A and B are shown apart, each in its own frame.
Chain A
């Protein structure tokens, strides 16, 4: 965990206000593991005041990329960054996915911008294991497939792929899931994660989810991002104990 002033080396719009920003940050690149995040300062002034947390989307050599959606002042500022600009980044933060335990096929489940941590994770899945990526969105334009392999798509409105949500697609493709021992990795809106958890509990699949919560510091001092624990009294902190949790540890 360090703070660096990283130079922006590339910024591209993937479409539909989804951006990918790439920075030169060797130390963060070296320390990062998939599922971790960075807390990025999006303004030089006091507005917006707080850093914004983003999943680490991709690490290539000394470069780290973040995927974001333009939603408010903070992300609008970020979208206006240019190649050569400096970006104040705190990271890597939190705990990532456990991708080297016992399974034969990694099953990714992404809802909308929940696709963000998967390009990095895709590259880290040990050789010889299979990959299946289930990607959902409201409509065709909301589907993000960047950096993902063996994709199966679903849209709520049926404009592309399976008509329905991504968990209904999992259910429809259950035969595929039962061909080998799987581990599910999910990231997306909380209602989707809740449904993925139910689905995995029903069939006994091992599953980790990447959660999100409004936070200030990103490293445990503000105590602003609680998530209810399932295996103990009280709360975990999304930033420090997560953002990735096994589904048995948290109430979604």
Chain B
């Protein structure tokens, strides 16, 4: 029996969710920096079956990124310090967007900047592109001085970025929050107050790793962003914390490897979720997670997956 047949004879499961005005066919989003601009991974998975694809952070001007070594594996995780290597806004519009147009998914453009004006300018330039359905503002890259983290730790700056970016686009604006703060909900609250459509949480946690024989850091940047299953419990706690204090859609991120992890994020409060590190290991994980959630909902008699969001019992 195919999935369609099951659907007809038993029950239908509505996997769709909404982030602001953006409707996703399922809550699976591919995280920024883990799928490039979609071209390589499209050989290994069907992007038409993904709720949304978040493109690699784009900045006003191209950036060549950090020297090697950029990544190192850690216990059930990895540290990366890529340094926001990207093609810049002009090249992004000219060569990357046309490729992405062919897919029946939502393309979310992630923006990194070194000044508030630059966030605004990038958004203003890209906003007329029909292919781009929403913006995710990276105020939390831990790996470059100008990667936004200095904004991500400053409530006033986050308020100003949200307000000014919203002013130059009609499309949903998602602010990607840093976990490296003492009160993440306070940041989500500011985003909500300034009209932001959603927050995504969490970006990577700052970490490092040293070679004990040379006593040198294993990555050039000394510190990097920790991702992968190692950070999942932290990410879940941050999502829950935001959910309990602020009324704003949350996109959960942090170490999701399979549909069970994804369901856990939705239960603690995520409307949708992004998968990142797993794409490096299993590029088809997004499709498998979507199928897994569909089965889970069917078995649990959940008609709409959006009913799962924040359904925790404490």
Interface residues of A (CB under 8 A from B): 1-3, 41, 46-51, 90, 213-217, 219-228, 233-235, 240
A49 touches B69 (CB 8 A): no
- Asked if B72 is at the interface (CB within 8 A of a chain A CB), the reply is yes
A220 to B280 CA separation, bound complex (whole angstroms):
9
B78 touches A50 (CB 8 A): yes
A225 touches B76 (CB 8 A): no
The secondary-structure label for the interface of chain A is: loop
Among residues of A, the one whose C-beta sits closest to the C-beta of B63 is A234
Among residues of A, the one whose C-beta sits closest to the C-beta of B38 is A221
- Asked if B35 is at the interface (CB within 8 A of a chain A CB), the reply is yes
B78 touches A216 (CB 8 A): yes
B68 touches A50 (CB 8 A): no
Question: Nearest-CB distance from A91 to chain B (Å)?
Answer: 11
B73 touches A48 (CB 8 A): yes
Given contacts A49-B228, A234-B64, A235-B64, contact A214 B43 (CB under 8 A): no
Q: Which of B277-298 contact A (CB under 8 A)?
A: 277, 279-284
B229 touches A46 (CB 8 A): yes
11 inter-chain pairs at a CB distance below 8 angstroms, sorted by A residue, are A49-B73, A50-B78, A90-B283, A217-B279, A217-B280, A221-B34, A221-B36, A222-B33, A223-B36, A225-B68, A235-B64
The tally of residues in B whose CB lies under 8 Å from a CB in A reads 36
B82 touches A224 (CB 8 A): yes
**Which of A216, A226, A227, A235 sits near B280, CB closer than 8 Å?**
A216
B280 touches A214 (CB 8 A): no
- Residues on A with C-beta less than 8 A from B44 are 1-3, 90, 219
- Residues on B with C-beta less than 8 A from A213 are 68-69
A88 to B283 CA separation, bound complex (whole angstroms):
12
Given contacts A49-B228, A50-B281, A235-B65, contact A220 B36 (CB under 8 A): yes
- Asked if B150 is at the interface (CB within 8 A of a chain A CB), the reply is no
Among residues of A, the one whose C-beta sits closest to the C-beta of B45 is A3
A46 to B260 CA separation, bound complex (whole angstroms):
14
A46 touches B40 (CB 8 A): no
Question: Nearest-CB distance from A75 to chain B (Å)?
Answer: 13
**Which of B40, B43, B70, B76 sits near A49, CB closer than 8 Å?**
B76
By CB atoms of chain B within 10 A, which of A46, A49, A213, A219 has the most?
A: A49
- Residues on B with C-beta less than 8 A from A235 are 64-65, 67, 85
Given contacts A3-B44, A49-B77, A49-B229, contact A222 B283 (CB under 8 A): no
B72 touches A49 (CB 8 A): no
A90 to B279 CA separation, bound complex (whole angstroms):
12
Given contacts A46-B228, A49-B78, A221-B279, contact A226 B36 (CB under 8 A): no
- Asked if B75 is at the interface (CB within 8 A of a chain A CB), the reply is yes
Question: Nearest-CB distance from B255 to chain A (Å)?
Answer: 9
